[in-house]
């Protein structure tokens, strides 16, 4: 049984949660449901910590970062993102294993950014020193924030799965998705086939997640869509704050088209596959615990 001293932060949170649970049980099912909803929101906020900090920095630096200073805004974002990552590891809010997956996705995302900007898919309109080609290094942290969210949510919600595809199939699909982001510039776009493969592999998969004691469940595909929708919202914040711009936004900001949801869904599966590969080494995690709801 895991021990939490009442003097530690986790111990304080556990005590407050237990007291809130006892209070809500005396007030009926609606109060219990509200308590669980609050706990769900708190865990989601914790899982989004790195990504939320990055989106907040994009907005705040766009609003308040002084012009004409030696340190360019993009370089400040890179250094700030690195500092946040170090603090998360130092505070043990993120394990070294999770940080390794996030670093891998940072590299995967940066490589794609270098190619995509060279093809004119989008641009970074501001100057910077910390960059590769036309890509400032902070952009890789935006991809890493997706991996950070999935890795942290996996641990916080104790993910289990029913009818999950094999690791080989999951990684194979991720490799095909990643390759298509490059090859569709020269060959027919394989996204219709990739969406069909996602449906075939994950259409029967359920994810079981624990908010407090009991595990709840939902279709994994629905989870993918919801996360992709939040990433699309964050992308609109990023383009509005001129962190990057699409060709259609060069003469003024406009909303990122909803069609980009599909691209984010596919890219998120790449990140999910990497996290799943690491989680699979720790334990199988493919079957829900007994009594899962």
Q: Where are the domains of the chain?
A: 1-46, 48-282
Give pLDDT, residue 36.
80
Residue 107 has pLDDT above 60, yes or no: yes
50 or 98: which leads in pLDDT? 50
Question: What pLDDT band is residue 4 in, cutting at 50, 70 and 90?
Answer: very low
Give pLDDT, residue 289.
55
Question: What pLDDT band is residue 7 in, cutting at 50, 70 and 90?
Answer: very low
- Alpha-carbon distance 147 to 227, whole Å? 12
89-106: pLDDT as tens digits: 888 877 777 788 778 888
pLDDT above 90 as % of the chain? 62
Rounded mean pLDDT, 240-266: 92
CA-to-CA dists, residue 112 to 13, 125, 172, angstroms: 40, 18, 18
Note the maximum CA span of the chain. Answer: 64
Please report, for the chain, how many H helices and E strands are present, in that order.
10, 5
Give pLDDT, residue 29.
58
- Span of 49-53, 232-236, 259-263, 279-283 with lowest mean pLDDT: 279-283
pTM to 2 decimal places? 0.86
288: left (phi over 0), alpha (psi -120 to 50) or beta: beta
- Alpha-carbon distance 276 to 187, whole Å? 30
221 or 16: which leads in pLDDT? 221
- Alpha-carbon distance 67 to 247, whole Å? 24
Give pLDDT, residue 94.
78
Residue 26 has pLDDT above 70, yes or no: no
- Alpha-carbon distance 38 to 23, whole Å? 14
124-165: pLDDT as tens digits: 999 999 999 999 999 999 998 998 899 889 989 999 999 999
| Average pLDDT over the chain, rounded to an integer | 86
Phi, psi (deg, nearest 5) at residue 103 = -60, -40
1 or 219: which leads in pLDDT? 219
Per DSSP, what are the bridge partners of residue 132? Answer: 135
Give pLDDT, residue 64.
95
HEC secondary structure over 218-246: EEHHHHHHHHHHHHHHHHHHHHHCCCCEC
Sign of CA dihedral 41, 43, 45, 47: negative
DSSP label of 131: E
Residue 112 has pLDDT above 60, yes or no: yes
């Amino acid at each position: 049984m895991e021990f939490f001293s009442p003097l530690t932060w986790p111990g304080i949170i556990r005590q407050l949660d237990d007291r809130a649970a006892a209070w809500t049980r005396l007030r009926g099912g609606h109060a219990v449901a509200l308590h669980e909803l609050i706990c769900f929101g708190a865990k989601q906020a914790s899982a989004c910590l790195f990504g939320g900090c990055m989106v907040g920095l994009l907005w705040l630096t766009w609003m308040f970062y002084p012009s004409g200073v030696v340190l360019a805004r993009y370089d400040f974002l890179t250094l700030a993102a690195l500092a946040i990552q170090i603090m998360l590891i130092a505070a043990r809010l993120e394990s070294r294993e999770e940080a390794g997956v996030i670093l891998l996705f940072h590299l995967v995302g940066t490589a794609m950014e270098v190619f995509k900007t060279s093809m004119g898919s989008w641009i970074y309109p501001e100057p910077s020193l910390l960059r590769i080609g036309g890509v400032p290094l902070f952009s890789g942290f935006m991809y890493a924030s997706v991996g950070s969210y999935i890795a942290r949510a996996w641990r916080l919600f104790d993910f289990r799965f029913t009818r999950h595809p094999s690791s080989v199939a999951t990684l194979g699909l991720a490799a095909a998705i990643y390759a298509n982001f490059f090859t569709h510039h020269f060959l027919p776009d394989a996204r219709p086939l990739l969406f069909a493969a996602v449906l075939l592999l994950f259409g029967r998969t359920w994810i079981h997640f624990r908010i407090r004691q009991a595990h709840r469940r939902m279709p994994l595909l629905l989870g993918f869509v919801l996360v992709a929708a939040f990433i699309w919202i964050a992308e609109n914040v990023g383009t509005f704050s001129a962190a990057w711009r699409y060709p259609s936004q060069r003469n003024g900001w406009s909303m990122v088209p909803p069609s980009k949801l599909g691209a984010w869904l596919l890219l998120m599966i790449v990140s999910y596959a990497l996290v799943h590969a690491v989680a699979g080494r720790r334990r199988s995690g493919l079957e829900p615990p007994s009594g899962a709801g």
